[in-house]
Structure 1
Amino acid sequence: MPALGADMDEGTLNEWLVKPGDKIARGQIVAVVETTKAAVEVECWQEGTVSELLVPVGATVQVGAPLATLLAPGEKAEKRAGKPRPPTSDVTTPSAAPPKPHMAVTSPGAPQHRRWISPAARRLAQSLHVDVDAVSGTGPQGAVTISDVEHAAASLAHAAAEERAATPAPETPAKTKPADRAALMRKSIAAAMSRSKREIPHYYLADEIVLENALTWLTTRNAQRSIDERVLPAVLLLKAVGVAAQRFAEFNGFWRDDGFQPGTGVHVGVGISLRGGGLVAPAIHDVPEKKLDELMEDLTDLVARARSFSLRSSEMSDPTITVTNLGDQGVDAVFGVIYPPQVALVGFGQPAQRVCVIDGGIRVVTTVQATLAADHRASDGHRGALFLKAINELLQQPDLLEK
């Protein structure tokens, strides 16, 4: 079971997308895992052939527990009497002594496949208390769609209303409903942030960035393109942070085993608020190497999938630095809490017109408050100031961010 964030201790296996005997390519999605924040598609980063599925659908297992075993290319399974041979490799690499899986489903039966249902439709079915196994799918090859779930929920509601009309209301008080996803997510976030403030020696810096050059350049660029090809100012901010983090490596990585571990790439986590409450910060990978159009497509896709509870394990597990942008909420500045094991978080407030002294004169210009929350074990205030300065300078030359 992969660790999909500092606030995750366990996950529930919703679906296997492979079976024993299947050949797997590096990066292939092999399973769907349910966490408190989303239904996450788990990718396998080893090439091979599925030997055995160790966890049945519906089981809840601890982070680090193996989900399946693989045979390396060209390797054949060995048949031995007695205790089975140790697995060649795991879909998810466990710790040296992984905890025993905690099974939510106690049936000893072998892992089984369910007919296809998207994570979004499955999540909707769970929230509406709809049994997906009883829903007739109208999608390709009988797949259960969101529309199918909604129709099934409407039928259940109608039947329940008729039953209530025919049955006297019980005198006993109603049972307390279990905590909903938002409450569970808030609890997980609180645990991670408590750990962050307890273990990470934060320091904070702020810089007011003049956006006139960037916004003028972006307006001219967007005027030459169709509406669906235009780039939002938030993409410029993401690119500037990504390029600056590439130059200042001590802000791009992780604090592990009492030491700093640089990121292998610059994967910027983007804070996304979810409908109904809660927050996730999945990653856009290799930000400095991508053009603005690519980043805009990635950001649009990431927000849509996050809010439909359909993310990939790599997006949740490997952000090297996080950006949170609360400008659309009307706040001037945000001083965030670092998401462990990361060592830095950049925040942006609301762009607004302010009176500034520029080149010895007084002007009304659009500015944004950029903030940095950083881990004092990995960097210091001097380097943090240079990091924020680099972001500022990049936004004064937006044409350089296009490349």
Structure 2
Amino acid sequence: MTDFVMPSLGADMDEGTVIEWLVKPGDVVERGDLVAVVDTAKAAIEVECFTAGKVRELLVPAGTKVPVGTALATIDTGEEALEPPERKEPAPATGPPPAPAHTTEIDLASPPARVFAARTGVDLKTVHGTGRDGRVTHGDIERALPKPAAHGRTPISPYARRLARELGVDPVTLAPTAPDGIIRAKDVRAAHPAPSLPRPSRHTLDPDALRQAVAALMSRSKREIPHYYLTSTIDLFAATEWLREHNLRVPVTERLVPAALLLKATALAAAAVPELNGHWTDDGFRPGESVKLGVAVALRGGGLVTPAISGADRLTLPETMASLRDLVSRVRTGTLRAGELTAGTITVTDLGDNGVESVHGVIYPPQVALVGFGAISRRPWAVDGLLGVRPLVTATLAGDHRATDGATGARFLKTVNTLLQSPEEL
């Protein structure tokens, strides 16, 4: 038995309100299943379960505000919670024993096999046991599951896997079209051509509560984090020319915006300079296991939210663009998930659309770096000793001086610049 508790969905969260339960007592849940929608004052977040088991009791009614760490529900995690109901043995029959059947009785399955069968929906009566004394094993259950396509289990990108889950597409039925043999988001969309309607907003944010939450977090950041700032001007001539040619070759729905290149370059730079990709805790700096790129998204009523794109350094540019659109859409409709709001290892804020030249941002704790991009503008710039007009962007790094020094930050900005000079390799 374990408790499902009110999670901490950000460094500034002390309490939350259960808006809606997505499960009921008796439901079997797997690790990662959505179980509730929680209001954090900054956003309505879909919260995942971190334990597999059966929901026993909902302890907090919808609409109740409770502190972080409060038990919201209890979950049975033992094997017996996932086993099918006990089968009653029939009364002994008179006469000669019947001939043995070619199917296996449930009580001849090993306990792990019964649990696995319950989770996967396999009827044990249809499975032939290969274990000792004809017992059904875990491997027998796996062999009874629907087989993947003939070419075997094809690799799939993290974003494509999540998109397939949201659109209800079975990845096993997909075939990759990319040269590297990996299933990408476009393969998932091709299997689900009908555009999905945007999900309705679950919750209307309180502007005053949101402003207070942002104020508290930013005050803590400036009070506790010794910021240093570095600024670099990047020539985007090669990037904008490549982008123009790319957009001429693809349908309108697949065109990219400059922000996709800036995000991808930042993610790759974070992977190359891991000292800036991670969290500062009481024990010191802890590097992130992967690049989870936070993106600052402004809300229409004021304030901002910074959900993260997981594995951002491994996404293609089209996948980066799709992830950006998806995040912005779900921020505006209040359908973010807990992992997206708490996972960020480095954050990007891009205010170029608002015409600002540079952004000196405030680090989002416990992260140790924030990258700001201003507007892309045509300005005088010397190339090979000749003065001309080029598209330029000002990139600014806010670094935590406890974790890194200016030399590391300078290496990071230099890496971003180098990557943007070869956009075809992003």
Q: Same fold (TM over 0.5)?
A: yes
SS at 2:79 equivalent: coil
Matched, 1:280 2:305: yes
SS at 1:378 equivalent: coil
Distance 2:36 2:232 in 1: 43
Distance 1:248 1:71 in 2: 43
- 1:122 Cα deviation from its structure 2 partner: 4.2
1:124-273 → structure 2 map (5 Å cutoff): 124=204, 181-273=206-298
Provide Cα deviations, 1:55-97, integer angstroms capped at 9, x if missing partner.
Answer: 22111111222322322251449xxxxxxxxxxxxxxxxxxxx
- 1:206 Cα deviation from its structure 2 partner: 0.5
Residue 387 of structure 2 is matched in structure 1 by 362
Equivalent residues of 2:202, 2:333 under 8 A apart: no
Residue 40 of structure 1 is matched in structure 2 by 45
Equivalent residues of 1:48, 1:71 under 8 A apart: yes
SS at 1:67 equivalent: strand
Residue 6 of structure 1 is matched in structure 2 by 11
Matched, 1:58 2:58: no
Residue 350 of structure 1 is matched in structure 2 by 375
Provide Cα deviations, 1:135-183, integer angstroms capped at 9, x if missing partner.
Answer: xxxxxxxxxxxxxxxxxxxxxxxxxxxxxxxxxxxxxxxxxxxxxx112
Percent of residue pairs identical: 55
The amino acid of 1:358's aligned partner reads: V
Equivalent residues of 1:47, 1:73 under 8 A apart: no
- 1:27 Cα deviation from its structure 2 partner: 1.5
Provide Cα deviations, 1:229-285, integer angstroms capped at 9, x if missing partner.
Answer: 101110110000101101111111111123111112111111111111111111111
Matched, 1:325 2:350: yes
Residue 334 of structure 1 is matched in structure 2 by 359
Distance 2:257 2:30 in 1: 35
Distance 1:33 1:371 in 2: 34
Distance 1:339 1:67 in 2: 28
Distance 2:234 2:70 in 1: 46
The amino acid of 1:383's aligned partner reads: T
Equivalent residues of 1:37, 1:309 under 8 A apart: no
Distance 2:328 2:396 in 1: 23
Residue 147 of structure 2 is matched in structure 1 by none
SS at 2:266 equivalent: helix
The amino acid of 1:298's aligned partner reads: S
- 1:361 Cα deviation from its structure 2 partner: 1.1
Residue 167 of structure 1 is matched in structure 2 by none
Matched, 1:123 2:203: yes
The amino acid of 2:404's aligned partner reads: S
Equivalent residues of 1:39, 1:119 under 8 A apart: no
Provide Cα deviations, 1:370-396, integer angstroms capped at 9, x if missing partner.
Answer: 000010111110010000100000000
- 1:121 Cα deviation from its structure 2 partner: 4.4
The amino acid of 2:203's aligned partner reads: R
Distance 2:226 2:384 in 1: 38
Matched, 1:49 2:129: no
Residue 23 of structure 1 is matched in structure 2 by 28
Q: More displaced, 47-56 or 233-242?
A: 47-56
1:283-298 → structure 2 map (5 Å cutoff): 283-298=308-323
Residue 99 of structure 1 is matched in structure 2 by none
Distance 2:235 2:72 in 1: 50
Equivalent residues of 2:54, 2:81 under 8 A apart: no
Distance 1:242 1:271 in 2: 14
Matched, 1:71 2:56: no
Q: 1:370 to 1:119 in 2, by over 3 A?
A: same
Equivalent residues of 1:26, 1:45 under 8 A apart: yes
- 1:369 Cα deviation from its structure 2 partner: 0.2
Equivalent residues of 2:369, 2:398 under 8 A apart: yes
Aligned-residue CA RMSD in angstroms? Answer: 1.6
Distance 2:199 2:320 in 1: 24
Distance 2:307 2:39 in 1: 15
The amino acid of 1:323's aligned partner reads: V
The amino acid of 1:376's aligned partner reads: H
Q: More displaced, 257-266 or 235-244?
A: 257-266
- 1:120 Cα deviation from its structure 2 partner: 4.4
- 1:360 Cα deviation from its structure 2 partner: 1.3
Who wins on radius of gyration, i.e. which is larger? 2
Equivalenced residue count is 306
Distance 1:215 1:324 in 2: 20
Distance 2:202 2:267 in 1: 34
Distance 1:121 1:290 in 2: 28
Distance 1:73 1:206 in 2: 55
Equivalent residues of 1:346, 1:370 under 8 A apart: yes
Distance 1:64 1:252 in 2: 27
Distance 2:321 2:199 in 1: 24
Q: Structure 2: where are the runs of 5+ without partners?
A: 1-5, 83-197
Residue 146 of structure 2 is matched in structure 1 by none
